[in-house]
């Protein structure tokens, strides 16, 4: 049975008001259009839905059964409309961000704090992944936006640069003899290196830097956490390759110092990634706006 949903809408308001004329006023249509629609619905259903009683109309048993289900469907639809309106006004909803924990800790915190203060009822979900994994999350629909290292080769992903990152090599007083020296890449390899795991975009960047010079890296320790690499460096286990911003406090306090190289590794570019031709939810759009406000200057 294929019945126009408009007929159910007219039936619902007619049953709610108990009057053809009242339903017509509520729907901004003529009373005859209401009567014709109810007649058409009854013909399609093969049963009478209303009967007249004094100056009003009442539902038949079949009409009551139909109204019970139509009212439930109507309430679900109105609930969905209200939810969408709330989400558009950022009074509810969810925002899913794919981002590595280090970038989140050192760059996204002020933006997340501002977003939360403006829209406290929007749930924020942080998906801690590598850049490659974040791209897959975006494509599968399990993340709304991602913060990734550029470049991104996937043509289905749109990436906008918003930040440049600087990486440094740092060491503790155990390697104090290197403090006033400028090392070549070959000299650096004489010391134990502490690097991120190979799956990370940061590691790929440093590997590429040395590979271009014909050098293959063999780290003493690998980790998925920059914070752990910093702790290992403070313990004197080796020279760590980390994000400069993550090491600033340790450098200022004198726990660590920066190793000077003849040629610094190139800056890394960080981008905001979304799926091409897929509309962003309002929450994600607003968060991107906050990100750009924070870092465009």
Average pLDDT, the chain: 93
Measured distance CA(166)–CA(243) in Å, rounded: 6
- Of the CA atoms within 13 Å of residue 45, those in its CB half-sphere come to 20
How many independent structural domains does the chain possess? 3
Shared domain check, 104 and 79: no
Q: Which of 43, 68, 88 is the last residue of a domain?
A: 88
- Which one has a higher pLDDT value, 86 or 148? 148
Residue 20: give its domain's CATH number: 1.10.10.10
pLDDT of residue 201: 86
| DSSP code per residue over 58-118 | EE-HHHHHHHHHHHHHHHHHHHHHHHHHHHHTTSS-EEEEE--HHHIIIIIHHHHHHHHHH
Residues 42 and 15: their CA atoms lie apart, in Å, by: 13
Tokens 């007619």 identify what position? 14
Residues of the domain holding 128: 94-164+269-295
| Strand (E) or helix (H) holding 31 | helix 31-45
Are 98 and 83 part of one and the same domain? Answer: no
Residues 180 and 262 in one domain: yes
The predicted pLDDT at position 30 comes to: 94
The predicted model scores a pTM of 0.74
Q: What is the mean pLDDT of residues 122-136?
A: 94
* The pLDDT of residue 50: 94
Same domain, 176 and 216: yes
For the chain, give the percent of residues with pLDDT over 90.
Answer: 83
Percent of the chain's residues with pLDDT above 70: 99
Q: Is the pLDDT of residue 81 over 80?
A: yes
pLDDT value of position 143: 94
Shared domain check, 22 and 65: yes
DSSP letters for 212-229: TTT-----SEEES-HHHH
Q: Are residues 144 and 191 in the same domain?
A: no
Would you say residue 1 has pLDDT above 70? Answer: no
Q: Alpha-carbon distance 75 to 80, whole Å?
A: 9
Q: Which two tokens stand for residue 31?
A: 């009373």
Query: Which CATH number goes with the domain that contains 154?
Result: 3.40.190.10
Are 173 and 262 in a shared domain?
A: yes
Q: Do both 153 and 234 map to the same domain?
A: no
Q: Are residues 277 and 137 in the same domain?
A: yes
> What is the predicted pLDDT for the residue at 197?
93
For residues 262 and 286, membership in a common domain is answered with no
């Amino acid at each position: 049975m294929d019945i126009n949903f408009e007929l159910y809408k007219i039936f619902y308001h007619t049953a709610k008001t108990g009057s053809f004329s009242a339903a017509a006023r509520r729907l901004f249509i003529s009373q005859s259009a209401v009567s014709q629609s109810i007649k058409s619905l009854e013909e399609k259903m093969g049963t009478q839905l209303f009967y007249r009683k004094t100056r009003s109309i009442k539902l038949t048993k079949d009409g009551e059964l139909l109204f019970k289900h139509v009212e439930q469907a109507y309430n679900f639809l109105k609930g969905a409309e209200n939810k969408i309106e709330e989400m558009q006004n950022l009074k509810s909803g969810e925002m899913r961000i794919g981002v590595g924990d280090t970038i989140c800790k050192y760059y996204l915190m002020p933006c997340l704090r501002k977003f939360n203060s403006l829209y406290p009822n929007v749930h924020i979900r942080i998906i801690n992944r590598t850049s490659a994994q974040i791209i897959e999350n975006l494509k599968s629909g399990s993340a709304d936006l991602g913060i990734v290292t550029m470049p991104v080769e996937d043509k289905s992903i749109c990436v906008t640069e918003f930040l440049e990152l600087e990486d440094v090599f740092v060491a503790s007083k155990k390697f104090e003899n290197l403090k006033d020296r400028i090392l070549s890449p070959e000299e650096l390899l004489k010391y134990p290196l502490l690097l991120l795991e190979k799956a990370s975009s940061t590691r790929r960047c440093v590997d590429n830097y040395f590979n271009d010079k014909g050098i293959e890296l063999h780290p003493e320790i690998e980790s998925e956490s920059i914070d752990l690499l910093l702790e290992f460096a403070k313990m004197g286990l080796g020279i760590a390759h980390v994000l400069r911003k993550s090491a600033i406090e340790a450098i200022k306090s004198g726990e660590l110092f920066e190793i000077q190289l003849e040629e610094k590794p190139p800056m890394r570019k960080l981008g905001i990634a979304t799926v091409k031709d897929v509309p962003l939810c309002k929450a994600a759009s607003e968060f991107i706006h906050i990100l750009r406000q924070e870092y465009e200057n």
